[in-house]
Amino acid sequence: MREGEMTAIVEQHSIKKISNWKDKKSKMWIIVKMIHLAAFKTIRMSYTILNEKRESKIYCPITQLKIAQFLIKIHKKK
């Protein structure tokens, strides 16, 4: 999965292709699309969209676990 090809699932469960998930204006990249159901771990995190605090789960394959942790780390810095 390369930068710019990250697929995200927004709260309404619609799938959006995020062209640049590092963009500060884009807050929807933080939920990672499920790829391999059998290999999933769940990460709980809270995030902000339009100044509302929400809690959500990131469903992340074990092979993608470090990517999700990286996304969370980036988000906490903003």
When pLDDT is cut at 50, 70 and 90, the band that residue 74 belongs to is low
Amino acid at 71: L
Q: Grade residue 73 by pLDDT with cuts at 50, 70 and 90.
A: low
Of the candidates 58, 69, 6, the one whose C-alpha atom is nearest the C-alpha of residue 31 is 58
User: How is the chain split into domains, by residue range?
Assistant: 7-77
For residue 69, what pLDDT is reported? 61
Measured CA to CA, the distance from residue 36 to residue 47 in angstroms comes to: 24
Instruction: Tell whether pTM > 0.95.
Output: no
The residue type at 46: S
Residues 2-59: tens digit of each pLDDT: 333 333 333 333 233 333 444 444 444 444 433 332 333 443 433 434 444 555 554 4
Q: Find, among 13, 22, 36, the residue nearest to 5 by Cα.
A: 22
